[in-house]
Amino acid sequence: MKALPHRYVVTAQGGAQGPVNLSSSQLAPLLSAAPAEFDGPGNLWSPETLLTAAVGDCFILTFRAIARASGLVWEDLTCVVEGVLDRVEGTLRFTEFTLRVRLNAPGQDREKAQRLLEKAEKTCLITNSLRSNIHLHAEVLT
């Protein structure tokens, strides 16, 4: 890992109507728009789906590093994330994220795998950066 702090720069560009173009150096651009729940088209990534995706992506990448350091051999990890957006004290914000994960780790210690999944949830930098409640529901296949 490179020395901290790390900086990430993304450019968002859009007009009065239509999608927002998201770009960052050396990455493929993404188009974004309001989700259908906010009268958007519903067929593009939105800030809401991107944040929810970041939770799942970070969880898997964090687990990957923890499992490697702990010597856990695994084949596949699926993480379905549900983000709940609600009004709290007059302000819209994500109030919780539920991660439903399924780890396929044939021949491995189920309890160890469960502990490592829980550790990944507690140390994921994206969820640690949010003030939402985080719920982990894990299934380990051995």
- pLDDT, one tens digit per residue, over 102-127 is 999 999 999 999 999 999 999 999 99
Which sign, positive or negative, has the C-alpha torsion 113, 52, 100, 78? negative
As a whole number of angstroms, the distance between CA 89 and CA 1 comes to 39
The DSSP result for 9-43, as a single string, is --EEE--SSSPEEEE-TTS--EEE---GGGTS-SS
Alpha-carbon distance values, 59 to 62, 77, 88, 112, 133 (Å): 5, 10, 26, 17, 15
Among residues 119, 116, 98, 6, the alpha carbon closest in space to that of 52 is found at 98
Q: What is the pLDDT of residues 9-60, one digit of tens each?
A: 999 999 999 999 999 999 999 999 999 999 999 999 999 999 999 999 999 9
Model pTM score:
0.92
Mean pLDDT of the chain: 96
Residue 70 · residue 107 · CB < 8 Å = no
Calpha distance 83→88 (Å, rounded): 15
Q: What is the pLDDT of residue 29?
A: 97
